[in-house]
A = this chain, B = another copy of it.
Amino acid sequence: MNDELNGARSLAQTLVNCGVEVCFANPGTSELHFVAALDAVAGIRPVLCLFEGVATGAADGYGRMAGKPAATLLHLGPGLANGLANLHNARRACTPVVNIVGDHATHHRRLDAPLTSDIAGFARPVSAWIGEVTSALAAAAEGARAVQAARAAPGGVATLILPADAAWNRAERAAGPLPDPGPAVVPAATIEAAARQLRDGRKSALLLRGAALSERGMEAAGRVQAATGARLLCDTFAPRAELGAGRVPVERIPYFGEQIVAFLQGLERLVLVGAKAPVSFFAYPGKPGWCVPAGCAIDHLAHPHEDGARALADLAQALDAPPTPAVRMPLQLPDLPSGALDAVRAAQVIARLTPEHAIFAEEAITCGSPLLASLARARPHTHLPVAGGSIGQGLPVAAGAAIAAPERKVVCPHGDGGAAYTLQALWTMARENLDVTTIVYANRSYAILNVELARVGVGMVGERARSMLDLHHPVIDWVRIANGFGVEASRVSTGEEFAAHYASAMAQRGPRLIEVVL
């Protein structure tokens, strides 16, 4: 027994024992013992964030790349509140996150001091699991449970509330990891049934998500396609996808409901592999929300908590499929553009010049479609979009991904409206010298909302309403802002300029920001 051991250190050591290597922190007074523990315990890297939404978004990016949870460290209910939007995204991405929230000492709560709030209440809408360390002696066990809960397939946010006295009081030991059974195996009967159905000649598609979209899953899906002719689909905002040359082509479901309807037209069977049936992102008057064709059968090959990659491999075997996919994406790099930039030309620069195995933390919104189109035949890369639709996640996800995969270049193509939400991530990129190149698409508007205005059926719009979607007054100077946070930055407005600056960013390590004026 260690005389120095307190609840905080017992918890920190337990997290390390359970494989947690990083803690994205924005601490306050009630978390100081845990901060000290991050120093005393070897094997966990504290990463300071200036805002909680950066910490939670980075934990999401880390978890999507590492396949295991990082911890956060947040300051009571309001600190958690600032991190909730990106925890919503993490929830939708099924990212494992151990979300540690400090609280007042247990005896202090009844006094209703100003920072007292309903922490569990704040946490509930985003958490797969909520626990509380009721005493320092319980810190180890609760910590191990939190990691187990975060890792439980398909992965989720496990919120652990750590009262200050449970951190500072004496503890006895740290705990080791609890069992992690991994994702459930899809029963053979389900595989056999799917194989039978896919042989019946109906027009079928497999909708892949999670492990099914890993390289292993896609290889198997490609074999199933080779055997059956089934289409391979993924969600508009599939949390993680392996894309580019050499990969099995997967068709991405489009964004708008009526586009989805057209995209799925004629489909007779939709086989879900870790996914849900597609719906439109928003509702619009008189437009479809449910997008699966009438009469199309919906089958589940794998539920989200099941091993979709293995199910696909088993299905390929049951189908006696060829050993390799019939189709792979060719490498086809666009020419570099010249002259004024638009979303298509900017995408050509990025697709042409990004090195192999880059990670795209992408929140390009209206500039996203041209980018994905260009990247489809670019060098192989990983794509991490905003899985839950809550904007302001790209920069933090980029930071977290860079920490999870330090040997890979991270590119963060971001709309300017969304980039303003959690821009403090730039500071963490500078502080940790993260290898992230941020591209801000400066169209100086909430461009998507101008598209949506007509779609939701707003007729005539006056000047004041139109101004609510416009970011020209004043123009945000992203170069100054990035510099202000310690990140090297430049502004480009032609293809030539962008290519030069982007090539330079790809050739160096460390954070860069390029504002692309559209």
Instruction: Give chain A's interface residues, CB within 8 Å of chain B.
Output: 25, 27-30, 32-33, 35-36, 38-40, 46, 48, 50-51, 53, 77-79, 81-82, 84-85, 88-89, 92, 104-105, 107-108, 111-115, 117-118, 121-122, 124-126, 164-165, 168, 237, 276, 279-283, 285, 289-290, 387-390, 392, 417, 420-421, 423-424, 427, 430-431, 448-449, 452-453, 455-458, 461-465, 467-469, 471, 473-481, 483-486
Contacts and interface: CB of A to CB of B under 8 A. Distances in A.
Nearest to A451: B29
A108 B465 contact: no
B449 A29 contact: yes
B463 A39 contact: yes
A387 B113 CA distance: 11
B468 A477 contact: no
A285 B40 CA distance: 20
B78 A388 contact: yes
Contact of A478 (B29, B461, B484): B484
Total copies of the chain: 2
A290 B108 CA distance: 9
Given A237-B114, A388-B114, A78 B85 contact: yes
Nearest to A84: B81
A113 B280 contact: yes
A104 B424 CA distance: 29
A110 to B, nearest CB: 9
Contacts of A115: 281-282, 388-390
Nearest to A463: B39
Contact of A424 (B390, B420, B486): B420
Contacts of A281: 113-115
B476 A427 contact: yes
Nearest to A92: B114
A88 B104 contact: no
A88 B111 contact: no
Contacts of A79: 85, 390
A464 B46 contact: yes
B82 A456 contact: no
A473 B431 contact: yes
Given A78-B84, A105-B283, A164-B283, A484 B481 contact: yes
A465 to B, nearest CB: 4
26 contacts: A29-B448, A29-B449, A32-B453, A32-B456, A33-B456, A33-B457, A36-B462, A39-B462, A48-B468, A50-B417, A51-B420, A79-B85, A107-B283, A107-B289, A113-B281, A113-B282, A115-B281, A115-B388, A122-B125, A164-B282, A168-B285, A474-B485, A476-B484, A477-B483, A477-B486, A480-B481
A282 B30 contact: yes
B468 A27 contact: yes
A78 B390 contact: yes
A465 B390 contact: no
A88 B50 CA distance: 19
Contacts of A105: 283, 289
A467 B164 CA distance: 21
Contacts of A453: 32, 36
A107 B237 CA distance: 22
Given A82-B85, A122-B122, A388-B78, A458 B32 contact: yes
Contacts of A30: 282-283
Contacts of A118: 124-125
A40 B462 contact: yes
B82 A392 contact: yes
Nearest to A111: B279
Residue among A118, A125, A237 with the highest chain B CB neighbour number at 10 A: A125
